[in-house]
Structure 1
């Protein structure tokens, strides 16, 4: 049973329940003075007999997406004993506009705008980084190969999130219709979301292995990590998808909270925990190696060592995804920290791709050197060609013809 059928079943049950109440009321002496508006079921809620000039209130229906069931809807009984009619449609009207927290709705839309903008900017930066790293073949090495896989995962995930915020979020009817394409988009999006974590784990494992192991084939390690980075998330997303299909948890484009989401959380927590361990050990080993540096750095060595270790740690935080530790738990709705959490989460999640592309591509010394070399080469070639052409023309004009013929 899809979402539309479920809602219709709830409405049919409420209609039958309301008719029983109204029929029972008709069989009893009325306690409402005339004139009054007779009780009615408006398609969502049951309204009792209401005296003229009064307003009836009822809880907002919980089965309507976006409605807050703790708020109240109302229906006006006019002074002549008839239900209020909307001036534009001329039809009897119940006011459900109060069922939506407009301020909260605007706030959620602003948060979605931060996500969409961040993902879009990060996508452009990641695609540009991938182009640069692919263009300069001399940059190819195991480390850059890992970066390119991570950038590809981020780019795909960001592109899918932009599609989600553009094609699904603004249209509740698409969510309610629960089409197959919407469900597929959800599954594919969450697959690439998991690949982000698997590739951040691959980056952490690679760096940790290079520091603690002196003899290892980087090429073989990268091949092993490449297979792990793309296949491991597929296993988790397969289990997640099968569970939701088997137990019928497939309504509203799968955006509802589901216990089967814990399957995905396992990989996320595993990646974060291991990367935190890797980072601590990387910093430990780095401090040992820096303290054992050249003797001419003995002066102010402690402060210099700590500064270098801190710099390395800050650079690794976005690469390993450990900035998510800033927002480990979502506060309860209405909590004082809820809005701070939402803003921090939106910025750190959506702009991670931009941060990683900037630190490990645009600000990478090897990349900058290659781009400078390419710029100098491109700038030198036109001047060299111009100089050659000028020299040839000068020689030909000064030598003059050796015969009476004009040499062209």
Structure 2
């Protein structure tokens, strides 16, 4: 879009056209080129109109952009930037306006970020909660928090600034590159969650310390090659708009994302199968009825689905903008994507029995800290559900 050759070529053509055109009588604004369109000489207190450029994603050439000439013969300046401004906000058809979708993303990411940061604070504060399972949860929460914070920065600093998109400075392209890495870590850490649960349930003898070390390396390092290749390709192509586009998924990113989601689906199916087998075996004759087993399996599936990112199977392919259900897809994607961090924080922190027990214990200590009799000591005692390692693993 901001191809230097195109800009130079069209600027020269615009200058030639305006030099050959006689200006209107009286006070007027001199014709100019704003790197997108050529604007003719325009009399004061008038508005110039031009068809919207077709090379800008989302713009319709059937609509008109406009530029206002003020009473003193100068082009109208935007109060925020102080520079002459052309109005391209009219180049997007109402049905293609995604401002409400962006607002939904921002709201969801904000809620998720607050919940994730609070969850990280709670899990980090209580040392008695430290175990392999919680360590994996903490890294997943950190990945989600990083991703959500970067998306909020992207929307606030880049998407809401037409000048930044047009100029495409180095910092906004770097922000896009880091954002893509953070997004990939979400998928790899969801894969680590699935691999950890699957290993603990299926393998009876496993060193959790070695397993966690391997997961730490995989969760944070596995996305690096894909993110670096992605940034290098876009940098060499000198793509505009801070590398923001609605094109086809990049293969270096899509392969890793699809692989993690499909592997987690396989892990989830096997985890539910193992749970059903253990429920039938542990219930005894006449106790583990098929309906109860199915209920437990359904509950486990519902709880594990957001943790493993299985909901992304509902939106595997983004439809074209002219599709009748494109807007529906955008709303569903905004809700499921932006609120996943909130959902995971609620299910695996705020509703976690061990966390709630620690919070109750802490609250009682704060409330009754002045009392030292044996009754109080008994009241605030906390019985661990497992051994010294931090409690038994639960799904």
TM-score w.r.t. the length of structure 2 is 0.79
User: How far apart are residue 86 of structure 1 and its match?
Assistant: 5.6
Alignment partners' CA distance in 1, 2:58 and 2:5: 16
Contact 1:4–1:176 (Cα < 8 Å) also in 2: no
Contact 2:57–2:245 (Cα < 8 Å) also in 1: no
Q: Which residue of 2 aligns with 1:243?
A: 233
Alignment partners' CA distance in 1, 2:243 and 2:251: 14
Alignment equivalent of 1:108, drawn from 89, 95, 98: 98
Deviations 1:151-201 (A, max 9, x none): 000011111111111111110111111111111111111111100000000
When residues 333 and 66 of structure 1 are mapped into structure 2, their CA distance, relative to the original with a 3 A threshold, is closer
User: How far apart are residue 315 of structure 1 and its match?
Assistant: 0.5
Q: Which residue of 2 aligns with 1:182?
A: 172
Q: Unmatched 5+ residue regions in structure 1?
A: 24-39, 48-55, 76-84, 388-408
When residues 102 and 285 of structure 1 are mapped into structure 2, their CA distance, relative to the original with a 3 A threshold, is same
Query: Are 2:233 and 1:279 aligned?
Result: no
Indicate the structure with greater helix content.
1
Q: Which residue of 2 aligns with 1:162?
A: 152
Query: Are 2:362 and 1:363 aligned?
Result: no
Q: Which residue of 1 aligns with 2:316?
A: 328
Query: Are 2:109 and 1:119 aligned?
Result: yes
User: How far apart are residue 98 of structure 1 and its match?
Assistant: 8.7
Indicate the structure (1 or 2) with the bigger Cα radius of gyration: 1
User: How far apart are residue 15 of structure 1 and its match?
Assistant: 3.7
Q: Which residue of 2 aligns with 1:269?
A: 258
Q: Unmatched 5+ residue regions in structure 2?
A: 22-29, 41-47, 77-85, 376-395
Contact 1:69–1:99 (Cα < 8 Å) also in 2: no
Query: Are 2:248 and 1:256 aligned?
Result: no
User: How far apart are residue 209 of structure 1 and its match?
Assistant: 1.2
Contact 1:243–1:260 (Cα < 8 Å) also in 2: no
TM-score w.r.t. the length of structure 1 is 0.76
Number of residue pairs aligned between Structure 1 and Structure 2: 352
Contact 1:18–1:46 (Cα < 8 Å) also in 2: no
Deviations 1:46-67 (A, max 9, x none): 99xxxxxxxx997532245663
